[in-house]
């Protein structure tokens, strides 16, 4: 009886992994299609980011005053995050099968500057924890120091995995700041595997961007992937809301991604390699 129960558990887990794989496969496909269709705008957003990030990267090393150097670095990080917030707001339209213009991009700054500052504060705080606080705890050489260091390290990991969706949560859900922060952590705890996959996927994109001078996929490609991912992930919660019996059962539900992605697949379509290189011949 026990072996039979374990066998059923394995089948359930394999079904969940298969359905999740369907969703992730479509996510990567749709992100690539949308990136390719908006290649020019993606490159321009990445160029703009490189211009903004140049100040905090190059200027501090040329300033003799340590305090002034840290100030310039802090302001530069905040400006970069405000820029990324505006970019994320515009890329949401791409994810929704729409488009945006340069006027929309500049108008987005008025709506997203606070989100950018919050993200910038988190980046600065996380950087301080990694460079100052964690080394301090580990250098204590005591059991208490190691315990505090390990605890803080894993809290930082959870925070980073949660905060990666902060900008897209703010732009897509349009909730108050406190609610958006709460939803980031709820997404993390309810979709741990997806959050880890997204982080690793974006690290790969970041490494790939280095070889392409950050023109592609760059920060814009990463933001687009995160928005696409959250948008598709929200379909799961719409389905759960319409099927409350699955939540009441207390078991991990098998999300029918095949059914949920029918409309998305029709809108996205399929393409051949020829259509990417010579789209005018289709």
Per-residue model confidence (pLDDT) at position 17: 61
Whole-angstrom Cα distance, residue 57 to residue 1?
63
Supply the mean pLDDT for the chain. 88
Mean pLDDT of 203-232: 96
pTM score, whole prediction: 0.91
And the tokens for 21?
Answer: 């794989």
Helix (H, G, I), strand (E, B) or coil at 243: coil
The predicted structure's pLDDT at residue 19: 61
Of 61 and 238, which is predicted with more confidence? 238
Q: Inform me whether the pLDDT recorded for 56 exceeds 90.
A: no
Cβ proximity of 220 and 46 under 8 Å: yes
Residues 240-254 pLDDT 10s: 988 887 766 667 778
CA 279 to chain centre: 30
| Res. 22 pLDDT band, cuts 50 70 90 | confident
List pLDDT tens digits, range 75-105: 999 999 999 999 999 999 999 999 998 899 9
26-49 average pLDDT score: 95
Q: Residue 275: pLDDT above 70? A: no
What pLDDT, on the 0 to 100 scale, is given for residue 223? 97
Q: Which residue has the tokens 């490189």?
A: 50
Distance CA 138, CA 123 (A): 21
Quick one: average pLDDT of 198-223?
96
| Cβ-contact 185, 160 below 8 angstroms | no
* Angle of helix 218-242 versus helix 192-211 axis, rounded to 10: 160
Whether residue 255 is predicted with pLDDT greater than 80 in this model: the reply is yes
The answer on pLDDT for 264 being more than 70 is: yes
Highest mean pLDDT among 10-14, 103-107, 195-199, 271-275: 195-199
d(CA 217, CA 94): 15
- For residue range 124-149, list pLDDT tens digits in order: 999 999 999 999 999 998 999 999 99
């Amino acid at each position: 009886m026990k072996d039979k129960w374990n066998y059923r558990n394995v089948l359930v887990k394999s079904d969940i992994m298969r359905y999740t794989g369907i969703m992730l496969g479509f996510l990567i496909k749709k992100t690539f299609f949308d990136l390719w269709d908006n290649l020019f705008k993606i490159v321009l957003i990445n160029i703009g980011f490189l211009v903004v990030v140049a100040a905090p990267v190059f200027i501090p090393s040329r300033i003799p005053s340590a305090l002034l150097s840290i100030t310039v670095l802090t302001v530069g990080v905040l400006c970069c995050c405000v820029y990324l917030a505006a970019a994320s707001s515009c890329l949401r339209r791409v994810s929704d099968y729409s488009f945006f213009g340069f006027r929309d991009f500049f108008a987005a700054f008025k709506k997203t500057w606070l989100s950018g500052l919050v993200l910038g504060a988190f980046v600065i705080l996380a950087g301080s924890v990694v460079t100052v606080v964690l080394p301090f705890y580990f250098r204590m050489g005591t059991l208490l120091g190691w315990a505090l260091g390990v605890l803080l390290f894993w809290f930082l990991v959870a925070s980073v995995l949660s905060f990666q969706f902060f900008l897209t949560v703010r732009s897509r859900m349009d909730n108050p700041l406190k609610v958006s922060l709460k939803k980031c952590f709820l997404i993390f705890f309810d979709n741990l595997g997806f959050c880890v996959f997204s982080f690793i996927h974006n690290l790969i994109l970041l490494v790939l961007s280095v070889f392409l001078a950050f023109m592609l996929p760059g920060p814009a490609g990463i933001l687009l992937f995160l928005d696409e991912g959250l948008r598709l992930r929200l379909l799961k919660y719409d389905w759960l809301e319409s099927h409350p019996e699955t939540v009441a059962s207390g078991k991990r539900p098998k999300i029918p991604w095949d059914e949920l992605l029918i409309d998305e697949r029709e809108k996205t379509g399929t393409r051949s390699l020829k259509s990417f290189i010579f789209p005018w011949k289709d």
